[in-house]
A and B are shown apart, each in its own frame.
Chain A
């Protein structure tokens, strides 16, 4: 199962993606219904749900603002 970490902006989404890529954490950028529901149009990073806690901490520690977390594919 996947989780979507919703970021406040495209800039933060790309910055977050770079951080995850550097750590070798598989992820993909998404802009879908889940992110829209939280932010009314926004960007998210889809990751393995098992890594959600670790990724959130990593991003927060790196100064990335997280707007919300949602389950991928959930409507």
Chain B
């Protein structure tokens, strides 16, 4: 199998990560539930994972809330903020959000907890995106939710610049870094008051891992999404007021976070330059291939403004059909709408969807050439 679906989850996981999970399943008890050896090993796995997250994203371990994915982190952050406010919140969101943002916002709008403005992102001009964001701010705006890179076409948006403007207006910023964590150098405070990330995509940790990282300067006591046992302050019926326990009710998946800890430790040993080289090669070939339309891609020499994701359509095929054809050739890509209705609407691919080719750590130039050869063969049949 040639795997080009790294935007869904990074594959393959390393032997180190697999071994860390297996070892923790043998030797970790329930974290925070005792001082005996097994529980302490569970505690240690969680703390080490937080420590590695803090190191990677320039934070502190207590500010790293462990979640099961980016979606859970975004739910905690957005709902946590909105439900901590007495009045409905005026929020700004982009037109490239994943449903992990859009559906939360939709629900809060239905409940009349949010008043919404969608600002327009420009695919080719960062200045316009920043200007559109700034023009959308009103004196009532108190929340902005940014998508760092589109999961559909890979465009990286100018979040750092928009965050600076937001802070001048006292706006809370929550950023979805699902497609950039592990690929770009991200320091949490530069990108938001809260950043939400997956452990299993660009960081190559186990499925079912993610994090919500809260800036140390963010002083709003957010409403917790979950309530339950934390292993501390058991006589108090309120959730703890401090991080990370405020958001971590119930038993945590220590083996998975032990795997994420190892993935984070291994990260600096992995080269992502090859993925960028493959991306440029595929882009160049696909743009010139008969029967293939490339959507939302950079012009030559602008590739660094995109993460290695390419959206294409094959003439005469629905995207799901095209993905199925490639699957029969043992090539894994993803068709459809990629849980991002708004992005496809913006790109003009709402009816057809698109075939997403996402490149990652395990890919080689041999894989890339095999994909090009297969597509060329299919499109000349």
A residues near B (Cβ < 8 Å) are 8-12, 14-15, 29-32, 39-43, 63, 65
Indicate if the CB atoms of B234 and A9 lie closer than 8 Å: no
Indicate if the CB atoms of B43 and A14 lie closer than 8 Å: yes
Indicate if the CB atoms of B232 and A41 lie closer than 8 Å: yes
* Chain A residues closer than 8 Å to B236, beta-carbon distance: 40
Instruction: Among B34, B35, B47, B233, point to the contact of A11 (Cβ < 8 A).
Output: B47
Indicate if the CB atoms of A32 and B35 lie closer than 8 Å: yes
* Chain B residues closer than 8 Å to A15, beta-carbon distance: 47, 60-62
Instruction: Among A8, A14, A40, A42, point to the contact of B47 (Cβ < 8 A).
Output: A14
Complex CA gap A4/B60 in Å reads 24
Instruction: Among A29, A31, A40, A43, point to the contact of B235 (Cβ < 8 A).
Output: A40
Q: Which of B135-165 contact A (CB under 8 A)?
A: none
Indicate if the CB atoms of A31 and B44 lie closer than 8 Å: no
Indicate if the CB atoms of A43 and B47 lie closer than 8 Å: no
Contacts A11-B50, A41-B233 aside, 14 further interface pairs with beta carbons under 8 A come to A9-B232, A11-B62, A11-B244, A11-B245, A14-B47, A15-B61, A39-B232, A40-B232, A40-B233, A40-B236, A41-B231, A41-B232, A42-B232, A63-B60
Report the nearest A residue to B31, measured CB to CB.
Answer: A10
Complex CA gap A29/B62 in Å reads 17
* Chain B residues closer than 8 Å to A29, beta-carbon distance: 35, 40
Would you call B242 an interface residue if the criterion is a C-beta within 8 Å of the partner chain's C-beta atoms?
Answer: yes
Complex CA gap A2/B35 in Å reads 18
B contact patch SS? loop
Would you call B80 an interface residue if the criterion is a C-beta within 8 Å of the partner chain's C-beta atoms?
Answer: no
Number of interface residues of B (CB under 8 A): 23
CB-based closest 3 A-B pairs: A40-B235, A31-B35, A14-B47
Would you call B240 an interface residue if the criterion is a C-beta within 8 Å of the partner chain's C-beta atoms?
Answer: yes
Q: How far is the CB of B175 from chain A (nearest CB, A)?
A: 23
Q: How far is the CB of B214 from chain A (nearest CB, A)?
A: 13
Q: How far is the CB of B235 from chain A (nearest CB, A)?
A: 3
Would you call B32 an interface residue if the criterion is a C-beta within 8 Å of the partner chain's C-beta atoms?
Answer: yes
Interface string of B236-255 (1 = CB under 8 A from A): 10001010110000000000
* Chain B residues closer than 8 Å to A10, beta-carbon distance: 31-32, 43, 46-47, 231-232, 245
Indicate if the CB atoms of B35 and A40 lie closer than 8 Å: no
A-B contact pairs, 14 of them (CB 8 A): A8-B240, A9-B62, A9-B242, A10-B245, A11-B61, A12-B62, A14-B43, A14-B44, A31-B35, A39-B232, A40-B234, A40-B235, A41-B234, A41-B235
* Chain A residues closer than 8 Å to B240, beta-carbon distance: 8-9
Indicate if the CB atoms of A8 and B234 lie closer than 8 Å: no
* Chain A residues closer than 8 Å to B234, beta-carbon distance: 40-41
Complex CA gap A30/B32 in Å reads 11
Complex CA gap A63/B63 in Å reads 12
Complex CA gap A69/B244 in Å reads 22
Indicate if the CB atoms of B35 and A8 lie closer than 8 Å: no
* Chain A residues closer than 8 Å to B40, beta-carbon distance: 29
Indicate if the CB atoms of B35 and A9 lie closer than 8 Å: no
Complex CA gap A40/B32 in Å reads 13
Report the nearest B residue to A30, measured CB to CB.
Answer: B35
Indicate if the CB atoms of B43 and A39 lie closer than 8 Å: no
Q: How far is the CB of B36 from chain A (nearest CB, A)?
A: 9
* Chain A residues closer than 8 Å to B50, beta-carbon distance: 11
* Chain A residues closer than 8 Å to B242, beta-carbon distance: 8-9, 65
